[in-house]
Amino acid sequence: MARASESDEALLARVTEALRPVQGLVALVLGGSRGRGTAGPASDYDIGLYYEPGVPLNVEGLQRAIAPLVDDPSSAVTRIGEWGPWINGGGWLTIGGAKVDLLYRDLGRVREVIAEARQGRISMNYQPGHPHGFCSVIWMGEIATCQPLHDPFGRIAELKNETWPYPEAVRDALMARFGWEVGFAISNAEKAAPRAEQTHVAGCAYRALCCMAQVLFALNGRYLINEKGAVPEAANFPITIEGLAKAQAEIWRHIGNADAESALRQLRILSTNMSVLVEQAGRKL
């Protein structure tokens, strides 16, 4: 039988106490849904480990630090960069019965991304595990929404000041980057549907819905940290498309039944309604 999870406070205190002496660690934060206060009972603990580029995290020291904590003695952390340029590395651990994900973050690059975003310059990048892609603004959103666990030099607190109030340049850049793509993805799906290219139709539908979520998050001044659950979350925003959550479920039901025509018709309606919201907000796509 699986062990019951520790309380949030006890688990985070144990992890913080064990990791804070690791050489190169500048700050430790609670991120993800638990950092944002939107977690469910089964949600993982996403813990960000921030380091400065000139003094990178001592991974061997980190491995030694987690050894007394983890339920599985074979648990390991990665080298820096092992998971790609945007998910720098980390570890998938179980501690006290709870799933704990460690994620490395290079503070130098995070600062650069935030400075660029505040000037309206963002990027969308390939990253395994992110079928929508990894938008550079995610790093900015992680800083904005995280809960510092260990920030002795105030680096996270300082960067938080760059993320709120939600910058207009970020809003405009995200809407310009993703707004047009909603209709473009639907058009691509419409061309593929008569050829029964179901995988392509499904991929385009996913892309359209994720881009729609990006626009809605931006309209509401919210940071989209993870595409998982983004559409249902956006459906509950003050500025949103009426019936979005129900429509999304129906779209996927139609696609599952190989009824691309009905799915794409519904997507077109959502796209039109999104454009109306943008216009009402005095914005352009």
Asked if 102 contacts 12 with a C-beta cutoff of 8 angstroms, the reply is no
Give the contacts of 92 (CB within 8 A, at least 6 positions apart): 75, 99, 101
CB 111 within 8 A of CB 96: no
Q: Rounded distance, CA 79 to CA 209, Å?
A: 34
Is residue 218 over pLDDT 90?
yes
pLDDT at res. 147: 98
Residue 7 scores a pLDDT above 80: yes
Q: Please tell me the predicted confidence (pLDDT) of residue 107.
A: 98
Note the pLDDT tens digit of each residue in 108-150. Answer: 999 999 999 999 999 999 999 999 999 999 999 999 999 999 9
CA distances from 196 to 100, 206, 248 (A): 41, 17, 21
pLDDT of residue 284: 84
pLDDT range class, residue 177, cuts 50, 70, 90: very high
Percent residues over pLDDT 90 in the chain: 94
Q: Is residue 2 scored above 60 in pLDDT?
A: no
Collapsed DSSP state (helix, strand, coil) of residue 88: coil
Are 55 and 24 in contact, with CB atoms under 8 Å apart? yes
| C-beta of residue 189 within 8 angstroms of C-beta of residue 208 | yes
- When comparing pLDDT for 115 and 284, which is higher? 115
Alpha carbons 266 and 256: distance in angstroms, whole number: 14
Identify the CA nearest to 272 among candidates 215, 231, 203: 215
Per-residue pLDDT for 1 more than 50? no
What does the buried/exposed string (b/e) look like for 13-27 if buried means 16 or more CB atoms within 10 Å of the residue's CB? eebeebbeebebbbb
pLDDT at 207 over 70: yes
pLDDT given at position 38: 86
Pairing of strands 98-106, 134-135: unpaired
Q: What percent of the chain has pLDDT over 70?
A: 98
Q: Record the tokens describing residue 98, joined without a space.
A: 């709870």
Mean pLDDT calculated for residue range 153-172:
98
**Single pTM value for the model:** 0.95
Match domain 8-160 to its CATH number in 3.40.50.1000, 3.30.460.10, 3.30.365.10, 3.20.20.70. Answer: 3.30.460.10
Q: Supply the pLDDT for residue 6.
A: 64
Residue 186: what pLDDT? 99
Residue 39 has pLDDT above 90, yes or no: no
The average pLDDT across 137-164 equals 98
What distance lies between CA 236 and its chain's CA centroid? 18
**CB contact at 8 A, 45 and 71:** no
Domain ranges of the chain: 8-160, 168-280
- The pLDDT of 242-250, averaged and rounded, is 98
What pLDDT, on a 0 to 100 scale, did the predictor assign at position 247? 99
DSSP label of 239: S
Quick one: average pLDDT of 58-62? Answer: 98
